[in-house]
Amino acid sequence: MSDDAQDFVPPYPKPLAEKPGWWRLWREGQRCPLRVFTGSAYRMKLGESGFLSRKRYLLVEPSLVKKVLEDREGIYPKSVLVRRMLYPVIGNSIFVSNGDVWQRQRRLLEPAFAQTRIQAVFERMNEAVDDMIARISTVRDGEVFDVEPEMTHVTADVIFRTICSVSLDQSGAKETYEAFLEYQARAYGDMLLGLLRMPTFLSPRWWRAKKAARRIRAVMDPMVRHRYDMHARGEHGGYNDILSAMLNATDTQSGEHLHFEYDELVEQIAMLFLAGHETSAAALSWALYLIAAHPEIQERMYRETVDVLGTRAPQFSDMRRLALTRNVFRETLRLYPSVPFFARDATRTEIMRKKVIKPGSILLLCPWLSHRSEIMWQKPHVFDPDRFEREETQESVRDAYFPFSFGPRVCLGAAFALQEATLILAAIVRDFHLETIADDTPEPVARATLRSSGGTRLRITRRAAD
């Protein structure tokens, strides 16, 4: 489907004219896996690559995606590839575990992310957002500002404050955050090697990642130990954060009081830091770019925040009234899903669209392609937040929109992330006017999360109150 001249098509890698040869596939894939797609990939239902039993399948057809993500029998477990990559920091925690271990962890963690809990941490999120506004206010009017580091800072701060009531500026928190950045930069660089089934331990990056992982654990240990020991002594300490919900976890099925062993608890917390700030930071940076590039949407968002919030601090009940702000974030996640690919392993022989899929094959789910499928979406590359309000889009949303995955392993932090993003975007748009910079368009690069290749610079001006 063609896009009208007035439609805004934000940047995405130009599809290749023809299927690339091996050398080009490797070279472009190293730069960014999204660069190897041809135009027909955006109409694809099932893609295949690799050799013999070492095959990879890219699932785009909704019925195939559904079959894999709604699996409740463990036929398509989380890929060992991802587990291997993340093990040094998050051990066998919920993000990578499978089977009974995963089921128990999920039952223990779910109450900590229930709606009431998200409401309970609203004020802590708000405090982090206030500090973000104070930091942005130090930027001189009209100056060019890279929003990515700030989005990483505020989302890490939100995670620290909501999980263990510590702000990012306190020592320990900062050290952990820097070690995480180091770890991600190293470990994910090797994800591609793993996908191609090449040994990652040969790579120097892998050893540096392991060193960063030890640094993270060394800082995180005393922080969690203090709270764990307090809990063991029966002291509550007046905390009302996610860690206290985890320490008081009750099995959601049996109602029994169960608890995480100490090492397991540290791993779950490290996992929440890893899963919970980088994803939100990536999406928020793209959202700010899209808002800056679309002045009409920016103006409507500004009006919405002024109508709903005026100049006062946001309340939990305001969240559902910031409908356009929420739709801008949902549309951002459609165009730039923070997790552009994720993997499952095939454990038995299957036929999918006449292809025989052998055990040991890697099944790749790809929100990037599903969200831009020309079969499933009208004008798929156009930024159009209002599409979520139109009746005709409901089927596409139901069948081909899954930035948080779906099924039993749906993202545990989806409601948390939506609340956080709505607060951050509303606060920025209410106080500042954003503009893009000529000849400085961010280029999407898929690593573990979908970032822009060289940062996201915008011109930022404080709004005069009207």
CA 238 to each of CA 235, 261, 456: distance values in angstroms, whole numbers, following the listed order? 9, 22, 40
> Does residue number 36 form part of the binding site for ligand HEM (CB under 6 A)?
no
Binding characters for ligand HEM, 105-134, by CB under 6 A (x = yes): -x----------------------------
DSSP three-state, residue 435: strand
Identify the residue among 404, 430, 448, 452 touching ligand HEM (CB under 6 A): 404
Q: Which is nearer to ligand HEM, 385 or 413 (CB)?
A: 413
User: DSSP for 202-217?
Assistant: GSHHHHHHHHHHHHHH
Identify the residue among 272, 376, 434, 458 touching ligand HEM (CB under 6 A): 272
CB of 108 to ligand HEM, least distance (A): 11
Q: How far is CA 72 from the centre of its chain?
A: 23
> Does residue number 191 form part of the binding site for ligand HEM (CB under 6 A)?
no
Q: Which is nearer to ligand HEM, 38 or 103 (CB)?
A: 103
Identify the residue among 166, 275, 425, 426 touching ligand HEM (CB under 6 A): 275
> Does residue number 270 form part of the binding site for ligand HEM (CB under 6 A)?
no
Tell me, by CB under 6 A, how many residues bind ligand HEM: 23
User: DSSP for 86-125?
Assistant: HHHHHTT-TTT--HHHHHHHHHHHGGGGSHHHHHHTHHHH
Task: Spell out the alpha helix ranges (H) of 166-294.
Answer: 173-187, 191-195, 204-232, 242-247, 262-293
CB of 273 to ligand HEM, least distance (A): 8
> Is residue 354 packed enough to be buried (19+ CB in 10 Å), middle (13-18) or exposed (0-12)?
exposed
> Does residue number 444 form part of the binding site for ligand HEM (CB under 6 A)?
no
Of 153, 66, 417, 385, the residue nearest 276 (C-alpha)? 417
What phi and psi values does residue 419 have, to the nearest 5 degrees?
A: -65, -45
CB of 63 to ligand HEM, least distance (A): 18
> Does residue number 412 form part of the binding site for ligand HEM (CB under 6 A)?
yes
Of 105, 61, 37, 71, the residue nearest 381 (C-alpha)? 37
Q: Which two tokens stand for residue 125?
A: 């999120």
CA distance 380 to 375: 9
CB of 279 to ligand HEM, least distance (A): 4
Q: Which is nearer to ligand HEM, 340 or 459 (CB)?
A: 340
Residues numbered 319 to 358 that lie near ligand HEM (CB under 6 A) are: 333, 338-339, 342
> Does residue number 432 form part of the binding site for ligand HEM (CB under 6 A)?
no
Q: Which residues bind ligand HEM (CB under 6 A)?
A: 78, 94-95, 106, 272, 275-276, 279-280, 283, 333, 338-339, 342, 403-405, 409, 411-413, 416-417
